[in-house]
Amino acid sequence: MRLIIAEKPSLARAIAEALPGRSQRQEGYLQVGDTRVSWCLGHLLEQASPDAYDPAYKQWRLDHLPILPEPWRLTPRPKARAQLAVLRRLLKEAREVVHAGDPDREGQLLVQEVIEHLGWKGPVARLLISDLNRPAVERALGRLEDNAAYQALYRAAETRARADWLYGINLTRAWTLVGRQAGHDGVLSVGRVQTPVLGLVVRRDAEIAAFQPRPFHVLWADLQVAGGQLRAWWQPGEAHPLDDQGRLLARLPAEALAARLPGAEGQLVALQTQDKRQAAPLPYSLSALQVDAARRYKLPAKAVLDICQRLYERHQLITYPRSDCRYLPREHHALAPRTLAGACQGDATLGQWLAGADLSRRSRAWDDAKVGAHHALAPTGRAPDFSRLDDAEARVYRLVVRNVLAQFYPPLETREVKAEFRILDERFRAQGSELKVAGWKPLFTTREETPPLPPLVEGETARALDARVEDRETRPPEPFNDASLIKAMMNIARYVSDPAVKRTLRDSDGLGTEATRAGIIETLVERGYLVRDKSSLRASRTGHALINALPEAASRPERTALWEQRLAAIAERDEAPAPFLSALVDDLRRLLNAADAQTLRQTLAASQAIEAPTPSPRRATQGRRGSAGKRGGKGSKTSNRRASTPRTTGGRARRAKGDA
């Protein structure tokens, strides 16, 4: 009997449907001939809680830290015991096993850890599926690989899970205990990704709070030239009071010039034209889709992830969504006419865009060299039933299809024009854009962003018709929202000051992963560290206090981004995990020594001036995917070395994919 273990039931059903023969539903698996297809339910196993290693760890005490498991243990999740029993029985009867986890680091981990935990000693084949459509699954079944080729990926995922446990359990316990000494009643959760993300928001809030607006002034003049009219802007010279960005700080010089301008004549002294070609935006990665959906439709990042999962699993309309890639395999290009014909059925706008597409065109998106474990999000070709999609699902689906359709449109071609005039011995500048070929642009917007200038000839005369001075103020940075915070996590090098680290991080995956970024934001909201204010994300008082009390290294992105690089080295170059974990333990000891109740007491007091409220204590102490240890028994209230176990759902770390 051949046993195929899928990551989730929806994938198991797709595999069973693609096998030759009739599928029969059994308890916990599907039977197709001599093949049984069973499934996990996400992670069936989790890292054991601290008290599984020593019952004394039920009591949260500073003198227990750091807790360093040896050997590491996994325990079944409570709701997973029945399915684990099914898999245990099926493995005993199997002669061949196929690993059908999702094609990524966590997918490799969650199926393989079950196979190993249940004691299978035979060979394992690897089935990689990123598209649940039957033809795609049939192709994947025809090219099984040896799971041994993915052992480095498994070790990287296992190392990530252990490192997150070490970091989250120890630091959460330490800061919760000193928090109780400082008068804070609740869990203070610390994680290797969530805390630097919170740090980004806290620092942005601090910039906004400290911002002092400064007035500046601009002068424009409407000019008449032979071909029509245009508006040009004064470029004051260094003789005038300017800030570091060249903005005029005194109104009087602008007023004096504005009074002299009407009727004055000058000349076009410099004219620059540049023809530009811009290729269509690439198909989406998950994060890129989350950014666009947040901007267009105000959808939270977690909502977009959930929508994509439904479009992938329930409706089977898009390919695997948790992808960090924006490129497609070359073989998909030949299938595009049939795929897009099915994908655009039932929608007038998509049908119109498909009719205008040149399906013989090949854009830069079709590049096997840039496709890794996953490819970009794309339609499967299944005809959508829009009556079964809610408004948000339909909108996200159209975005995915649009970005693939755009690859079959010509580049956007524009002519950019910059003109400099000299009037009354002062410089004025104007710029405009002329649309030459609309290309893919109408699929994205019908708005003309920069109007064109009238026809211009260098040396021609220009006469000022009118002039005005406008008073403006410098503006603070915008608060983060879902779109900008996801983008910041993707491009984390922008928030690093060290030039060497910045160079290194430009090529990394950023903060978090495609699969975890939305969940990290929601976790911070649920734990009471972030507050949604309309579409903005602000840090709560507790969030500010925690970040300001932690060592700066714990709240900045350098560590976690470099972690991802070390994990990538384990996955891609088969480096040993031990040196990484050893260095982490040394780092943990330094961070634990910095846990200080007095510092936290001061930051909690200072945070009372922060406008964003702290949610109710019940909500603030509830942790999803927590990292603090399972619930334990009661103890004495507080002391320097001892505290009662705070109520938390932590310690069941990594129930879901990703990182806290």
* Residue numbers annotated as active site: 320
3-class SS letters over 540-562: CHHHHHHHHHCCHHHHCCHHHHH
Helix then strand then coil, in percent of the chain rounded to 5, is 45, 20, 40
- Neighbour-count burial of 322, counting CB atoms closer than 10 A to its CB (0-12 exposed, 13-18 middle, 19+ buried): buried
> Are 129 and 136 in contact, with CB atoms under 8 Å apart?
yes
Residue 635: helix, strand or coil by DSSP?
Answer: coil
Q: Residue 167 is which amino acid?
A: Y
> Are 31 and 23 in contact, with CB atoms under 8 Å apart?
yes
The two beta strands, 35-39 and 29-32, are antiparallel
- Neighbour-count burial of 250, counting CB atoms closer than 10 A to its CB (0-12 exposed, 13-18 middle, 19+ buried): middle
> Are 131 and 137 in contact, with CB atoms under 8 Å apart?
yes
Query: Which residues touch 362 (CB under 8 Å, ≥6 apart)?
Result: 333
Q: How far apart are CA 527 and CA 539, in angstroms?
A: 11
Q: How far apart are CA 418 and CA 453, in angstroms?
A: 9
Bridge partners of 6, per DSSP, are 39, 100
Q: How far apart are CA 24 and CA 1, in angstroms?
A: 15
Q: How far apart are CA 187 and CA 172, in angstroms?
A: 7
- Helical residues (DSSP H) of 344-481, grouped into ranges: 348-355, 391-405
For 516, other C-beta atoms within 10 Å of its C-beta total: 23
Query: Which residues touch 195 (CB under 8 Å, ≥6 apart)?
Result: 546, 547, 550, 554, 555
Q: Look at the chain and count its residues.
A: 660
- The angle at the Cα of 383, spanning 382 to 387, to the nearest 5 degrees, equals 125
Q: Two tokens at 406?
A: 């755009």
Q: How far apart are CA 401 and CA 449, in angstroms?
A: 24
> Are 50 and 57 in contact, with CB atoms under 8 Å apart?
yes
CA distances from 552 to 136, 200, 503, 588 (A): 48, 12, 21, 14
> Are 513 and 490 in contact, with CB atoms under 8 Å apart?
no
Q: Residue 126 is which amino acid?
A: R
Chain Cα centroid distance, residue 465: 50
DSSP conformation class of 242: B
Place of tokens 């090219």: 143
> Are 537 and 485 in contact, with CB atoms under 8 Å apart?
yes
